[in-house]
Each structure stands twice: as C-alpha cells, then as structure tokens.
Amino acid sequence: MIDIKFLRENPDAVRENIKKKFQDKKLPLVDEVIKYDALSREAKGEADNLRAERNRLSKQIGILMKEGKKDEAEKTKAMVSANAARLTELEEKEKEYQKKVRDDMMVIPNIIDPSVPIGPDDSCNQEIEKFGEPVVPDFPVPYHTDIMESFDGIDLDAAGKVAGNGFYYLLGDIARLHSAVLAYARDFMIGKGFTYCIPPYMIHSAVVDGVMSFDEMDAMMYKIEGEDLYLIGTSEHSMIGRYKDTLNDEEKLPYTMTSYSPCFRKEKGAHGIEERGVYRIHQFEKQEMIVVCRPEEAWDWYNKLWSYTVELFRSMDIPVRTLECCSGDLADLKVKSCDVEAWSPRQKKYFEVGSCSNLGDAQARRLGIRVKAADGRKYFANTLNNTVVAPPRMLIAFLENNLNADGTVSIPEVLRPYMGGIEKLIPKHKINQ
C-alpha cells in the first residue's frame, strides 16, 4: 500500500505506474481515492471544530451555572446537544470515507522501481546472469517421478486416495534427501547470521491482508472453515506478521530471520506434464528468509538475498540463472523481484525454484511495522523475502543434475553429513523409460 500523501501529491505518477503494471481497470481508483480522501478530511475538519466548540460551550455552561444563570446555561446545553447529533453524523461519515480510501488503496499497486523491465507477463522477464555450466548428458534423463520410483521413493497413487491430486508420499532415500536439503539450507542460513525460526503455520486474516494482495490470497490461501485462520502459503507471511503493530528501535535493525515450514497452496490453473509429479502441488516444505530493515539498507539486502540462493544451489552442483521479473509479473506489493531458476537437463531449459522480492514499505504500512530513529522520528520499515530452498520441487533439479548413467544419484559433499556420509544413492530397480 502506497503512502496516501504520495498519491495526493503525485496522482499522475500513480496512474502511470498502474499502466506499467497493465492494470488499466484500476485507473479510476486514483480519482476515487482523491475524492473520498478530500471528503474524509473535510468531515474530520468540521468534526474537530465541533469538538472544540463543544469543549468551549461545556466550560461556558459550568461558568453560567456557578453564576446562577440557569436559563442561559440551558440554552447553551441545547446548542451542545444539537452539535452532538451533527458530530455523530460526521464521525460516521469520516469512518465511511476512510474505509473507502483504505479499500481502494489496498488494491492500487505499489510503485515499482525504475529498473524493472516493462512487460505484461512472465514472457517479458529478462535473464540477468547464469551461474554454472548447464549440461545435457549423453544418456536420457527420465521424468523426475520415474527417477524417484527407481528408489521406491514416491507414491502418488496412495496419496491420491488419501488426499487427492497435488499430494504425495516421499519414502526412503528420497524422503531422507528431502529432509537433508532442508537441514542443510537451515544451517547454511544460520551461517549467514540469520535467526532460525519455526513460525505459526496458520495466520489471521488481518495478517493475510497485510502481507499480500487480494488476488494472491484468492489464488493461494486455504481458509479454515468457521475460524479467522488461514493456512500459510509461505512462512514469510507469518514471519513478517511477527512484527505487526510494533515500534522498533532503529539501532536494532535489521531483523534477519530464516524459517522452516510446511506450505499449503490452492495452485489454481496448474496443468501440463511439467506441473505433475511434485512440481506444482498443494503441500510442500520450504526454508525461507526475510529481512526487516531501514529503507536505505533494502537494496543491499535484496542483492544479498538472491545471491544466497544461488550460492546454495551451486554448492549442490546445480546450475542456475537469475531472471528479472517484468512489471506485469510483479505482485501488487512488490517494488522489484527476481526469480532464481535451476537447470533441467531433461527439459533442456531452466525452471523456477525461488523468488526474491523487495516490497519497500508496503507490507510495513499495512501491518503497522514502524521504526523509531534516534532523533525520535518515526517511519515505516522496509521488508524483503526470498526462498532459500523449496523441496520437493528443487529435488527435480537435484535428481536430474546429479543423475548418473547407471541410475545412481551422486550426493554433493555439502549434503553428505546430512545423509549419513552416503556418497551415492543406489536405485532398487531400473528406471522406467
């Protein structure tokens, strides 16, 4: 959510930003906000005058009563009563107008950074840099579930009976590898100085409203029936929510946290062979990172965060690239975002395994995360988030890039302590071709 003062003073800039986001249907909201903001301030101004008048008349009544001027005191009381009805009316109008302003402001997208490429959808995202040499082996690389099945490591049929499509059982060495990657990612981020956190896996609607747009919420979140609770789609939401309605000493910033959690997503519209198996699913686990910082620190942290994900994947012998998200591919609260994509030898292309975002003060403004400077000045913090690693999706990249011609899977050195020292996974039977 942008600053209402910025919109008042720069309505054309807000309209231009909406156009860059290819959301022209939201253009009328700018005029609506200006209109109802003016009405709200007008109602507040009149109400403040009436309150001042009420205080003045109340003092006058006391003086008149002391002087024995009951008739004049009663007339003054009548004036106070008449003003009270109008004051109640104005207070209701002010609330109505403020709600309209807030509702509209929650929908107007955040101002994107000037460096963001302009484009309507992810087809306009731009490659920034590649890390590691993408290799296509001289033997066929099977579909990831076929690799997993050679280790008796996955059961989608049973999961379908138990929970439906979009769920899975991971078993044996594959399940152990999944947990090993998460444990390694946890220790990797602790080594970067982040505080490890296991957060709530459900959050109230007030937190949901603070961390994401309405469109995202509808597409992602599962609501608990009969309760004001949502299952988290990413632990970023509950970690940022920890600072809701707080005033934080500037010298204590930045807050840097990394969290493990299961994640739950509707994943509306998922289809196609590459989105079957464990690529796009309703339940998965993830190691996430967030930063709450001063505005002037945000861009340094943005570059650190995505670089951590690149470093982690490269340490597991997985080639990756970074991709700049264009304006139309940015969620409404984001100032700038880049994806980290892993190389798929089977598809001979990269696919998304993580996303890094700078949200400016949008989440902080919605959630009331403020900072108190040494000079007493108060302002909203900036927030950032990034995926450390999200198995089982990253297992696709891991298995494909570490698969050998004989069906074994090499375990990179960094993971061996988490796998009992195993250097290779040995399949139980041949891979189905």
pLDDT surpasses 60 at 348: yes
Candidate from 82-86, 207-211, 240-244 with smallest mean pLDDT:
82-86
H-helix or E-strand spanning residue 375: none
Mind listing the pLDDT tens digit for each residue in 413-429?
A: 999 999 999 999 999 99
Q: What does the pLDDT average to over 43-62?
A: 77
pLDDT tens column, 169-183: 999 999 999 999 999
Average pLDDT of 223-250?
95
pLDDT tens-digit readout, 98-117: 999 999 999 999 999 999 99
Reading phi first (left if > 0) and then psi (alpha if -120 to 50, else beta), residue 277 is in: left
Q: From CA 399, how far away is CA 285, in angstroms rounded?
A: 17
The mean per-residue pLDDT over the stretch 318-336 comes to 96
Residue 232 burial by Cβ neighbours in a 10 Å radius (0-12, 13-18, 19+): buried
Burial class (CB in 10 A: 0-12, 13-18, 19+), 12: exposed
144 contacts 395 by C-beta, under 8 angstroms:
yes
The rounded distance, in Å, linking the Cα atoms of 395 and 227 is 35
Task: Tell me what pLDDT residue 76 has.
Answer: 66
- Which domains, ranges and CATH numbers included, belong to the chain? 4-105 (1.10.287.40), 122-425 (3.30.930.10)
Give the whole-angstrom CA distance, residue 291 versus residue 123.
Answer: 29
**Which pLDDT score is estimated for 74?**
62
| Cα–chain center distance at 237 | 6
The predicted structure's pLDDT at residue 381: 98
- At residue 145, the pLDDT reads 93
Per residue in 358-392, pLDDT (tens digit) is 999 999 999 999 999 999 999 999 999 999 999 88
pLDDT at 89: 86
Tell me how far apart the alpha carbons of residues 269 and 56 are, in angstroms, rounded to a whole number. Answer: 63
Q: State residue 167 phi and psi, 5-degree precision.
A: -130, 170
Q: Residues 391, 284: contact at Cβ < 8 Å?
A: yes
Mean pLDDT (whole number) for 80-85: 72
In this prediction, residue 23 carries a pLDDT of: 96
Tell me: pLDDT of 273 over 50: no
Determine contact, residues 140/433, Cβ cutoff 8 Å. Answer: yes
In whole angstroms, give the CA distance from residue 182 to residue 392: 10
Residue 61 is predicted with a pLDDT of 65
- Between helix 298-315 and helix 172-191 the angle, nearest 10°, is 140
pTM exceeds 0.85, yes or no: yes
